Amino acid sequence: MEKLLSDEEALVVLQKIMNIFPDAKGELKWDSVFHLLCAVMMSAQTTDKMVNKVTPNFNQKFPDSKSLKNASLSEIESTIKVIGLYRTKAKHLKETATILTDRFNGVVPREKQTLITLPGVGEKTANVVLAEAFQIPAIAVDTHVSRISKLFKIVPAKATPHQIEKRLEEILPQEQWIHAHHALIAFGRYKLPARKKGIDPYSLLS
């Protein structure tokens, strides 16, 4: 049975990671809450850099939910074609834009339980929108957050994203949730990328 860090030990690790990246922040580029939501939906299983290449043209073509709702699926697909899973993402973007236009007057909801009812919006996407757009404390568990949390034995090797989110929320003060999320991503992206095998993660904390 794997030995996990205690709450106190895990907090020390997380504080060190936050200290390494005191200014960590989201790297997706956005100019409105609606475009942030779209960008996060597009970012699943692709890089923020790839999404940032797509969004200037996407944002110009579809300035609001109504314009995206009224666009043809083929037009949306051709606009985001360079990112992975573009057909599924285009379908979800159009469906979500339709719901936002028809039910919410084009305004992105501020409630997590409402956000996750939108097509293509899971906990991670909802949490990013809450944290980035509204500064509502949330921890979005992406591949970096998951991998680093498991490497340091903060969570079990088979923990689900939801379990990781809840564990990190238990350990950290609420006012640190957003920073911790960004710092864990930065640590995973720049200090310990997945391609670096066999490195003691603790050697990177000093």
The catalytic position among 69, 89, 94, 124 is 124
The catalytic position among 7, 112, 142, 166 is 142
* The domain boundary residue, chosen from 134, 151, 177: 134
Above 80 in pLDDT, residue 1? no
For residue 1, tell me if it sits in a domain: no
Is 64 annotated in the active site?
no
The 10s digit of each residue's pLDDT in 24-49 is 999 999 999 999 999 999 999 899 99
The 10s digit of each residue's pLDDT in 86-138 is 999 999 999 999 999 999 999 999 999 999 999 999 999 999 999 999 999 99
* The domain boundary residue, chosen from 134, 161, 180: 134
What CATH number should be reported for the domain holding residue 163? 1.10.1670.10
What CATH number should be reported for the domain holding residue 98? 1.10.340.30
For residue 17, tell me if it sits in a domain: yes
CA distance 189 to 145: 10
Give the predicted TM-score (pTM) of the model. Answer: 0.94
Is 69 annotated in the active site?
no
Q: What is the pLDDT of residue 197?
A: 84
Instruction: Let me know whether 15 and 53 are in one domain.
Output: no
CA distance 181 to 139: 5
Domain count, the chain: 2
Q: Please give the share of the chain, as a percent, with pLDDT higher than 70.
A: 100
Which domain covers residue 62, as residue numbers? 33-134
Instruction: Let me know whether 190 and 112 are in one domain.
Output: no
Q: What is the pLDDT of residue 11?
A: 98
Instruction: Let me know whether 39 and 130 are in one domain.
Output: yes
